[in-house]
Structure 1
Amino acid sequence: MERDTFYLSRSWHRIICRRQGRNWTASMLFILAGFLALLPAAWAPAVQAANSGVVIMYHRFGEDAYPTTSVTVEQLDEHIRELQSGSYAVMPLAEMIAALRAGRPLPDRAVAITIDDAYRSVYDVAWPKFRDAGLPFTVFVSTAGVDTGAPGIMTWDHLREMHQGGAAIEAHTVSHLHMADADVAKLREEVTESTLRIASEIGSKPKFFAYPYGEASDEVKAVVSEAGYTVAFGQQSGPLYPEADMLYLPRFPINMSFGGPDRFRQVINTLPLSLTDVLPSNPTLTKNPPNFGFTLPAKKSEADGIACYHSSFGRLTELEKLGESRIEIRFTEPFPEGRSRINCTAPGPNGRWRWFGMQYYVPAR
């Protein structure tokens, strides 16, 4: 008897097919057409092809004393319910990156979950909930706290257990270093040692790197690349898209203030505002104030209604258009010391927003 089996994976919210017997192509097309016709409307967006994905970034869970880096347990439960609603394709970070780099389509509303710093609440609170929901995630680990048994930090046993359960364990320096302030020797030491410690304890070499605080520079990126990493993440907001800098990819930070259900839904529904030729390209400013500018997407309508905002100065009103596709912004005041963010957004289809973000760092004098 010829038979095709078709089933739905709730854990990754993808349609998976498995064939048995002959005449697979014709019968599968017939079954696929019938199955899609029966899908609830909420499932439709998750099976459409797209070329972008959203990466969200957590730190702590249920640690109310740290509102800038934690979400409440209730917020986490709301996030999981939304991610399981059928409108999203929650996938391992490695799958999302592989598809983008190979030019393969992603499902619309593709989402990857990342967590920085290996706090104990990841194991106690988030891990059981993500595991039971079948949601894959990645933890970026600063190894010194784990090695020394620092209070509130997971152990290697915790991390191994999560890794064996499907979580990815990736690199985040040894000491949670302010990398943009460090010299090359220190950078190399921290990147190399953290990579070796994770490989030794987890049993597999990390593939991805995340800059602590999202702070990087051209020199920092070069050291990370020299260590063998081809993909690294900051903490600037925005979706991933094929033209993005693979050594400084964006993630949306999620915390108590920016973790409410409406905000969370807005973030995971964003589309890329595919700006190119962004200057300054160096995330650490060598000139302050900088001359900031970018080239609009080839499809100009994607940038209709564009607005840009600075974390200290608010909405930027002096957008100067040069030719058909170049936008430049001249700042009259220097950026403050530390981290500044620029976000540019534009209305997208079906109530969604297009988003581009950049973080700049100004070293202390």
Structure 2
Amino acid sequence: MLIRLCLALFVVALMPVKVASAAVILQYHHVSETSPAVTSVSPAQFNEQMQYLAQQKFNVVPLAEVIAAIKQGKALPAKTVAITFDDGYRNIAENAAPILRKYGFPFTLFVAIEPIEKGFGEMMDWNQLQALADAGATIANHSWGHEHLIRRLPNENREQWLARIRDNLERTEAAIKQHTGQSVKTLAYPYGEYNTDLQQLLQQMGYIGVGQQSGAAGQYSDLTAIPRFPVAGAYANMETLKAKLNSLNMPVIAQTPTNPQLDLSDTQPVLSLKIVMDDIQKSQLTCFVHGQGKQLPIWVDADTFTIQAQKPLPAGRSRYNCTAPSKSQSGYYWFSQPWVRPLADGTWVQE
């Protein structure tokens, strides 16, 4: 009996460890008590969140490691997290970086160049960014002037617009390389806005695109629209953040439409998703429409459903979010589709 028990334990020890095919990417802007609440967490909140990651033994890795795994179709260890910051505010160097050093957590900082070059008071300068890079931080592309990249200039045609954006991103990447020695060719879309033309441009340029729509990243993620969970304001709540940290990559294998930018006439888009159902609790799959609350999906067949806003979406940015519990593990599969629509006259919401 003892010999059989020992043999069984030996066989179990040789079995491969089950790994998850998802990673949660966190997105921050400010870590400060004096910046706008809607884009901020306080230093105390940030420390609590990082302490939780450390105590719960989350696998905090550089964003590049998550991207490499998606590219190569490799699974990541369970509870994998990457930490990112957008814009390059000085309070990240002053308040967030010391906390991250304390826990030994890597992070990526997406920066726009114009605010640095113009010396805006709340932004880091190149010396601070170089110091962070020397200490192990990744500095990445957030466009030259934090522009709405999908918006064309007056009388600008598609080819002129794409050429302008290509130049914008290349100049930004060159400035980052000049000042920090880094060039990872990863763009965080300003405002989280992108469209299929911009995605195709990034693909041609050999860039990765990172959005602001919620969801876990993994093998089913588009490398030109990788999701992140924003952490700020109402989304900085520790209890809701815990659920997001344990979310899973929704296995979407077909989607219609794929373009987040809506036409003037398309105010209530019908989103169709085909998903791998093996581990999905189908009866509990639920969607939410921005500003309109919970909506149940309409199943077209065994693995395809649609969701549609019941009222017109507002001009500007909005989302459809869909979640479903796993059959085999704790946590929810999570998918978010961003939308951007112009005003009725074809112009954009001013920000």
TM-score by length of 2: 0.86
CA distance in 2, matches of 1:351, 1:300: 11
Give the letter aligned to residue 251 of structure 1.
R
Aligned residue number for residue 146 of structure 2: 176
Aligned pair partner of 2:46 in 72, 76, 98: 76
Residue 126 of structure 2 corresponds to which residue in structure 1? 156
Work out the CA distance in 2 between the residues paired with 1:330 and 1:111: 31
Whether 1:200 and 2:170 are equivalent positions in the alignment is no
Q: Say yes or no: does 1:292 pair with 2:262.
A: no
Q: 1:267 Cα deviation (Å)?
A: 1.2
1:263 aligns with 2:253: no
Q: Is the CA contact 1:53–1:109 (under 8 Å) kept in the aligned structure 2?
A: yes
Gaps in structure 1 of 5+ consecutive residues: 1-28, 34-46
Counterparts of 1:343 and 1:316 in 2: how far apart (Å)?
10
- Equivalent residue for 1:360? 339
**Structure 2 letter corresponding to 1:263:** T
Tell me the residue number matched to 2:82. 112
Q: Which amino acid in structure 2 is aligned with residue 186 of structure 1?
A: R
> Would the aligned equivalents of 1:199 and 1:206 in 2 still touch at CA under 8 Å?
no
Say whether 1:50 aligns with 2:12.
Answer: no
> Who is 2:103 aligned against?
133
Corresponding residue of 1:224: 202
CA shift, 1:152, in A, is 0.2
Is 49-58 or 263-272 further displaced after alignment?
263-272
Amino acid of the structure 2 residue aligned with 1:293: S
Task: From 308, 314, 325, give the equivalent of 2:293.
Answer: 314
Hey, what's the Cα distance between the residues in 2 that align with 1:297 and 1:360?
24
Map 1:339-354 onto structure 2 (within 5 A).
339-348=317-326, 351-354=330-333
User: Are the counterparts in 2 of residues 181 and 363 from structure 1 also a CA contact under 8 Å?
Assistant: no
Instruction: Tell me, in whole angstroms, the C-alpha distance in 1 between the residues paired with 2:282 and 2:170.
Output: 41
1-structure distance, mates of 2:111, 2:322: 30
Amino acid across the alignment from 1:234: G
Aligned-pair CA distance for 1:210: 0.7
Q: Letter of the aligned partner of 2:288 in structure 1?
A: Y
For 1:335, what is the secondary structure of its paired residue? coil
Deviation at 1:119, TM superposition (A): 0.4
Identity %: 31
CA apart distance, 1:124:
0.5
Distance 1:288 1:53 in 2: 32
Contact 1:54-1:251 at 8 Å conserved across structures: yes
Residue pair 1:304, 1:347 contacting (<8 A) in 2 also:
no
Alignment match, 1:3: none
The AA in structure 1 aligned to 2:270 is: N
Cα deviation, 1:219-259, whole Å, max 9, x if unaligned, reads 11122233331x21010000011121110010000003111
Instruction: Determine the structure 1 residue equivalent to 2:254.
Output: 277
Provide the residue aligned with 2:4 in structure 1: none
Question: Is 1:273–1:303's contact at 8 Å kept on the other side of the alignment?
Answer: no
Structure 2: which 5+ residue stretches go unaligned? 1-8, 153-160, 347-351
CA contact (8 A) 2:280 2:325 kept: no
Moved over 6 A (4+): none
Distance 1:83 1:330, change over 3 A: closer
SS of 2:37's equivalent in the other structure is coil
Contact 2:248 2:333 (C-alpha < 8 Å) held by counterparts: yes
- The 1:76–1:300 alpha-carbon spacing in structure 2 relative to 1, beyond 3 Å, is closer
Q: CA deviation at 1:172?
A: 0.6
| Count of aligned positions | 322
Q: TM-score under structure 1 normalisation? A: 0.83
Give the match's secondary structure for 2:299: strand
Task: Tell me the residue number matched to 1:59.
Answer: 29
- Deviation, structure 1 residue 346: 1.2
Cα displacement (A) at 1:48: 4.4
